[in-house]
Amino acid sequence: MTEANEAKAGFGTAVVATLATLVLLFPAYWMVITALQGDSAIFAYPPRFWPTDLNADALWSALKTTNVGRWLANTTIVAGVSTLFVVPVAALTAYALSRFRGKVASFSALLIVVSQMMPPVLLLVPYFILFRELGLLDGLLGLILANFAWALPVSAWLMKAAFDGVPHDLEEAALIDGCTRFSAIWRIALPLALPGIAASAVFAFISAWDEYFFARTLIADSSKWVVAVGLGSFVGDYSVSWQQVMAVATISTLPPAILFMLVQRAFVSNLSAGAVKG
């Protein structure tokens, strides 16, 4: 392609992509707009596309009257710590599954796939009993463990695909040259599989951030609530102020969104990784 054509194609792509993105983001726009309006906005008729009377009252009152700050702190701890542990464990597991084909590996692969098929509803009672016996009820540690359990199979599965995409040759070469296996993993396989691993880490974080079912089951003390449960406490109550709900929702969307912005370089932007030369 000539440079001029490339530029034109680039511009065309930018326009289409922007329009598509705007349409796709409409629900997010609606969430934010509702947070900035008067109470009956959602039942207003006719609905206003561009509301004129915006105010940030709901955001301030949400921050003051609900425990959003505490919820965010709890959620950050639970999501952060569980992801921190899931990533290395899942990565090593994924590496093993990708490179080894023995009986243990096949059995593990089967377990990992089957684990993801459990309808979460049926895990509620067993987990409640299990965590009660382990004395983990009503503490963030229990929730961290539950989220770890939730994310592990999926992360391992996604990371395995990432490792599968990295050819064995380089590692074999390194091993023959006298490298230890761990060194080979750390210096060769890992960097090449990094985009997939990063994607999977982000996914684990988001799942933990979002998680409602187990958080509700395993925590009784409202000071340990995570954001998902806090939000859930609004839905279905007739005294709910919808703009406050959306305000809390907007606030709780910000940390993962910001995290994404920072981390997206690892998989959206152009990384030098990819080409296996020579």
Partner 1 sequence: MSNSLTLEKLLLAPVVAFLLVFYVGPIGFDLWASVRSEGGAVSAAGGFVGFAHYASLLSDARIWSSAGVTLVFTVTVVIATYVVGLVAAMTLNRKFFGRDVIGSLLLIPWTMPLVVAAVVWGWLLDYQFGIVNYLLEKSGLISQPIGFLTDPDVALTSVGAAQVWRLFPLAMVTLLAALKAIPQELYEAAAIDGANRWQSFWSVTLPSIRSTTTALVLLIAIWAFGRVFTIVFVMTGGGPAGATETLVIATYLEAFRYFRLERASALGAMVLAISVILTLLYLRASRDRSK
Partner 2 sequence: MPIKEGSRESGKLSRRRMLAGGGAAMAAGSLAMPAIAQPAITGEVTFATNEWTLPHTARVLRRISETFSAKYPGAKVREIPYPYAGFHDQMLTQLTAGTPPDIIRVEDPQMSLYIERGFLSPLDDALREAKVNTAGFVAAGKDAMRDGKTYAVAYQSNARAMMFNKALLSDAGLAGPPKNKDEFADYIKRATKRDKGVFGYSLASKSGEVVGMFIYMVPIILGFGAHFTTSDGKPNAADPRIAEGLAFIKQMWDENSVPRGLDGAAALKLVTDGRVAMTLNGSFVLGAARDEVRPLLGVEPSPLPSGIVMRASSWFAATTQAKNKPAAIAWLMHMLEPENQNLIAESERIVPALPEFIKPETYKESPWLKTFVAGAATGVSYLPPGLGSKAFGQIKTIGEEIENILYRNKPIASAMGDLQKSLEANLRG
Question: Which listed option, partner 2, partner 1, none, makes contact with residue 112 (CB within 5 to 8 Å by class)?
Answer: partner 1
- With respect to partner 1, which residue has the nearer C-beta, 140 or 249? 249
Binder among 9, 19, 134, 220 for partner 2 (CB under 8 A): 220
H runs (alpha helix) in the chain: 3-24, 26-35, 57-65, 68-99, 103-115, 124-133, 140-164, 169-176, 181-184, 190-210, 213-218, 227-232, 242-263
CA dist list (Å): 175 to 103, 162, 171: 23, 21, 6
When asked if residue 70 is in the footprint of partner 2 (CB under 8 A), the reply is no
Q: How far is the CB of 192 from partner 1 (least distance, A)?
A: 7
Q: How far is the CB of 149 from partner 1 (least distance, A)?
A: 4
Q: List b or e across 59-83, with b for residues whose CB sees 16 or more CB atoms inside 10 angstroms.
A: beebeeebbbebbbebbbbbbbbbb
Neighbours of 144 (CB within 10 A): 22
> Site mask, partner 2, residues 190-219, x = CB under 8 A?
--------------------------xx--
Phi and psi based region of residue 193 (left: phi greater than 0; alpha: psi -120 to 50; beta: remaining): alpha
When asked if residue 85 is in the footprint of partner 1 (CB under 8 A), the reply is no
- With respect to partner 2, which residue has the nearer C-beta, 38 or 80? 38
When asked if residue 120 is in the footprint of partner 1 (CB under 8 A), the reply is yes
> Site mask, partner 2, residues 19-58, x = CB under 8 A?
---------------------x--xxxx------------
CA atoms of 20 and 34, how far apart (whole Å): 22
Which of these segments, 54-62, 76-84, 217-225, 241-249, binds partner 1 (CB under 8 A)?
241-249
- With respect to partner 1, which residue has the nearer C-beta, 27 or 178? 27
Contacting partner 1 within 135-154 (CB under 8 A): 149, 152-154
CA atoms of 48 and 26, how far apart (whole Å): 14
187-190 long-range contacts, Cβ below 8 Å, gap at least 24? Answer: 189/95, 189/163, 190/91
Residues within the interface to partner 2 (CB under 8 A): 40, 43-46, 124-125, 128-129, 132, 216-217, 220-222, 229, 232-240
